Structure 1
């Protein structure tokens, strides 16, 4: 599961103040919560008394404005250090739970899952936050697939006119260029579309913002981030797909969206733009549930260079080895 890579567990907007949330990483689950000051905390999601899930409890606000997570079984409170106070004693215990180390960068909540860092956190999301409006998040779900299969799907540039054909009416994928910079890469390709049907437009008006030929620029930061750089006459969009290895058999994915409006109509389409990205995630999750993962690949299509890039980095992680796959 590529231990030592940084994983973006959440954007702060995904957390409700004083509401526990369960997150999984590397086969373990944690309870994460945000207090009224905006500070974010995470502990192992198991009460050390009798094993109840802390994420099923609630938060109790303290006199200093911070909050403790409360076990739903016996109402034991745990602070951000994993300490509790036993009923009747009034004395604070030593830490009973080891906090998950979080790295907070603005609104981005990263973690190495308690492992030694092997590659750095990409800076590009901080750049987006400074230069673009945050539109929102969407598509947050756990997919029953391993991390490698998920990444291969996201870097399979030939699947656009199959998996996403009905959504975007894509006719073909015209691959143009792949630039390999180790754990960082760029892919460029065009996708001509047929004219959208009226019923599809009525379901999601954001389709109107799509050009007749989608000129795709994907920027990839192995292993956790794929960015679709989109531009149309009405807006520039940065659609950021995130991946987190929850376990050996499940991978979490979600999308953060940033944008810059070139027309006032964009503000009316924000929810539709997020809905469109959610449909993409739905289609990817659906097709991953219809694949026999251990099938030997006897046919190789043109332009599978992105998948080759994933396999090479997966096998050599954290090192970067030749060949360079730029073409």
Structure 2
């Protein structure tokens, strides 16, 4: 897992953590336990108990008198604090730190980490700007997918797959890449996607179709390798669909989506739940196709509109230093 060391990774939105409930996550081949105490303090520790290796995420939280919390190992109930210290049975003093906390960078409701490695690229300001200007409407599409991070990123930047993988959802008839702006590890793609007009039966089954025009004009802003944002605007609402990608291990990746909205019409508020459901289906379709791909198959055919995939391959090979074409 050396390829992308030094990239920031968004671990979670604060809303994904309930007080004193443990959450296991994996990053760059290592497992951690993440929790938020009653005061809102968020901590991540290595998930293996230093006694006999039990998964701490299978344990529980113990609330202290100051409303902080320790986590208890499910095997022998040893309690570890935010610094990874514990008190052994028969002793009245804390040990030194036996579990080194993972360094977290918390910006508002967003919990970032470099996975314990030296930062090589900065956390962009975009998410802070979105959180300031838009209403957060929820998290959707969280999946752990048995595929490597490169395959996941290639899929997410494959502009041709909408009229295959997502045919039933959007009935896209054609994908037109109007412009691709390459700024190294940052890029913008502007797409036009004519689609078949939905029937009233399809609208009744999924009212979020009302927010989709005849031609989907998409602005995709990408930050390699960890984030892609779809900027959408119409007369009903403005939407920020923020996708996050994490390499859990060599052959497994995680994805989730944060959704933000500005309402231009009262009907927008009625669509929130349907929008979250729609994007969850989109991610499920992507996950399903990635489970049906033979890895490392030589690419003997090249389609048009593969500029996003070429961008991913180049950045993956050259990360973190990228040389763009003149």
Normalised TM-score (structure 2): 0.97
- Conserved in 1, the CA contact under 8 Å of 2:182 and 2:324? no
* Cα-to-partner distance string for 1:120-154 (whole Å, 9 max, x where unaligned): 11110000011100011001110111000100011
Structure 1 residue 197 displacement after superposition: 3.6
* Cα-to-partner distance string for 1:256-311 (whole Å, 9 max, x where unaligned): 00110001111121111100110010010011111112111111111111111111
Structure 1 residue 217 displacement after superposition: 0.6
> In structure 2, how many angstroms separate the alpha carbons of the residues matched to 1:72 and 1:5?
33
1:115 aligns with 117
> In structure 1, how many angstroms separate the alpha carbons of the residues matched to 2:324 and 2:22?
44
> In structure 2, how many angstroms separate the alpha carbons of the residues matched to 1:112 and 1:301?
35
2:235 aligns with 233
Structure 1 residue 115 displacement after superposition: 0.5
1:319 aligns with 321
Q: Is residue 190 of structure 1 aligned with residue 192 of structure 2?
A: yes
> In structure 2, how many angstroms separate the alpha carbons of the residues matched to 1:201 and 1:90?
65
Structure 1 residue 199 displacement after superposition: 4.2
> RMSD of aligned C-alpha atoms?
1.0
Structure 1 residue 204 displacement after superposition: 2.1
Which of residues 29, 32, 45 in structure 1 aligns to 2:31? Answer: 29
**1:71-90 equivalent positions in 2, closer than 5 A:** 71-90=73-92
Q: Is residue 156 of structure 1 aligned with residue 134 of structure 2?
A: no
2:301 aligns with 299
1:261 aligns with 263
Q: Is residue 51 of structure 1 aligned with residue 75 of structure 2?
A: no
Which of residues 283, 286, 291 in structure 2 aligns to 1:284? Answer: 286
> In structure 2, how many angstroms separate the alpha carbons of the residues matched to 1:296 and 1:111?
34
> In structure 1, how many angstroms separate the alpha carbons of the residues matched to 2:48 and 2:250?
20
Structure 1 residue 198 displacement after superposition: 4.0
Q: Is residue 247 of structure 1 aligned with residue 274 of structure 2?
A: no
**1:135-150 equivalent positions in 2, closer than 5 A:** 135-150=137-152
**1:125-136 equivalent positions in 2, closer than 5 A:** 125-136=127-138
2:126 aligns with 124
In the alignment, structure 1 segments of 5+ residues that lack a partner are: none
Q: Is residue 66 of structure 1 aligned with residue 94 of structure 2?
A: no
Structure 1 residue 39 displacement after superposition: 1.1
Number of aligned positions between the proteins: 324
SS in structure 1 opposite 2:160? helix
> In structure 1, how many angstroms separate the alpha carbons of the residues matched to 2:250 and 2:217?
35
Normalised TM-score (structure 1): 0.97
